[in-house]
A and B are shown apart, each in its own frame.
Chain A
Amino acid sequence: MSSMLEIRWHGRGGQGAKTASLLLADAAFDSGKFVQGFPEYGPERMGAPITAYNRISDERSPLHSNIYEPDYVVVVDVTLLDAVSVTSGLKKEGAIIINTNKSPEELKPKLEGYTGRVYTIDASSIAEEVLGNRSLSNTSMLGAVVAVSKCIPEGKFMEDVKTSLNHKFATKPQVIEKNMTAIERGMKEVKSA
């Protein structure tokens, strides 16, 4: 299991953190991996903090618990830094990826002394520019996660995610290219301290 990658997503209900985790699972699956993608369920409602998880590995993982010591943490909504202990258990050789227009240096004080890598990506602005809606940040976040974690080779990922989107948006083909652009920009524009 040493090759297993564990990712924890923090978002708010309605922001698509669960969808992003499932998209990542899809893409990793398409690249030949064993995957798990699952949200932590509760009485969900718009705006409430939610958590979703991914396990990506070369062998099937029989683990069926939440993830407490993730390799990567993804924060879809920066306001969660004040509400949830997002770095809890995060491995210091891992990284945290935050959706914000601020720089990693500006956010570090809010990360409870986390000493690992900190990445930021202005996914909401990308979403606004490309998709016309700030709240559709999950696809550019997905791009950023793949770029940082290298859990899937980038070229392969672009191919596979296109297949997934074609499938998911079969009835809305006009949004596929836009989402691909959002993913690409997420991969390119994510920056570290």
Chain B
Amino acid sequence: MAKSIRERLSGNEAVATALKQINPDVIGAYPITPSTEVVHYFAQYVADGQVDTEFVAVESEHSAMSVCIGAAAAGARTGTVTSACGLALMWELLYVASGHRLPMTLNVINRALSGPININNDHSDSMGARDSGWIQLYSENNQEAYDNNFMALRIAEHKDVLLPAMVCQDGFITSHAIENIELLEDADIRKFIGEYKPERHLIDGKPLSVGPYDTVQFYFEHQYQRAQAMIKSKAVVKQIFKEFGDLTGRKYDLIEEYKMEDAERAIVVLNSSAGTAKVVCDQLRAKGEKVGVLKIRLFRPFPAEEIAKALSHVKAVAVMDKADSFSAVGGPVFADVRSACYELANRPLMVNYIYGLGGRDVPVENFFKVYEDLNEVIKNGKTGNIYRHVGVRGV
């Protein structure tokens, strides 16, 4: 087992530390709240000679992602950090990065998208980017954000995957909160991430064109390839999670099943509020109530089978969405979880809650209410309104 270093860091410090230890070849970045600190810290590492990274201070996030794409095509280990509108400005390039099968990591410090303008946390930024062909990992706390960075890099660079990966964590709630964390030693990280040796890249001395026009005759085949890579990546994620667990003792899986074995009511949630939901779950369990929490760690590719299996014995499920898709029938996590359960012989009753938008605090009361509502759903034997909100005034 690798040696562990006891520390206390904010989520942003944890990401900056992980990036320092990875020592990427190229970082192109533009600061935006609440991810700005990571860029500050990293620029300082560069100035102090603590990393060998070529740091490109660009004029926008569009350029930041373009730098990463160029660097990755040239065989560099690369990545960036952003939030909210910064991610939105990267939009077209996100598809370019994954479409050209360029591995890199992007830390998304989740923040609400304007408008009206808001700088606080929700998931409308990364949830909007869920269909851009990127691997998406979500982090409950600073520890997971730190650990996910190393695993994301390995997943992205794996020859069966070759897709860029996002590591998401909640802006301010975890990014600016100091918490205990166990760090790894540089040597163990070097060993775990190894050297990046892409099969081909732009400056390997042989002719190569990246990003040619893809005609009608070939585009569809390339999209099928990308979809196949996403399908294959699930096994790779599992393998790399296991390797990391063997190294650190921190066992991760695609989903985390918290007291789910005999649960009759379950909450499905991702990122920081999963912790708060677990506290509520514990308190209800202490009163003998059969409740559980299913935390999604990997959102892309979507672990549909695992989620369906975990929910197969549950009577009623509440899926929490910290982003609205404005489909008028529920949020993005709900749509996927509900669809995943369609094949189940005994489908649980399932409702959706939009919660915590724009930094609205998510106290334990939100989850007590949701568990209580699920009792009502079970008693009635039907869901009633599936598209619900918790924590918004007047509802």
Contacts and interface: CB of A to CB of B under 8 A. Distances in A.
A62 B176 contact: no
Nearest to B179: A36
A62 B178 contact: no
Contacts of B173: 38, 64
Nearest to B282: A1
Interface string A11-54: 00000000000100110010000111111111100000000000
A149 interface: no
A25 B180 CA distance: 10
Nearest to B172: A41
B120 A41 contact: yes
A110 interface: no
Contacts of B276: 62-65
A66 interface: yes
A157 to B, nearest CB: 16
A64 B8 contact: no
Contacts of B361: 40, 65-66
Given A1-B279, A38-B177, A64 B141 contact: yes
A62 B275 contact: yes
A64 B174 contact: yes
A25 B120 CA distance: 23
B357 to A, nearest CB: 15
Contact of A35 (B141, B179, B279): B179
Q: Which applies to chain A's interface (DSSP): helix, strand, loop or mixed?
A: loop
Interface in B279-300: 279
Given A41-B120, A41-B359, A22 B180 contact: no
A62 B258 CA distance: 13
A81 B379 CA distance: 47
A169 interface: no
A43 B117 CA distance: 11
B234 interface: no
Given A29-B8, A41-B120, A65-B362, A22 B178 contact: yes
Contacts of B119: 41, 43
Contact of B177 (A34, A36, A42, A43): A36
Nearest to A68: B363
A168 interface: no
Contacts of A41: 34, 119-120, 172, 176, 359
Interface in B245-281: 272-276, 278-279
12 contacts: A1-B279, A25-B8, A36-B178, A37-B177, A62-B140, A62-B275, A63-B364, A64-B140, A64-B170, A64-B174, A64-B275, A66-B363
Interface of B: 8, 34, 119-120, 140-141, 170, 172-174, 176-180, 272-276, 278-279, 359, 361-364
Interface of A: 1, 22, 25-26, 29, 34-43, 60-66, 68
Given A41-B34, A62-B141, A65-B362, 8 more contacts: A29-B180, A35-B179, A36-B177, A41-B172, A62-B276, A62-B278, A63-B275, A64-B177
| 9 smallest beta-carbon distances between A and B, as pairs | A62-B275, A38-B177, A64-B272, A37-B178, A29-B8, A65-B363, A41-B172, A66-B361, A25-B178
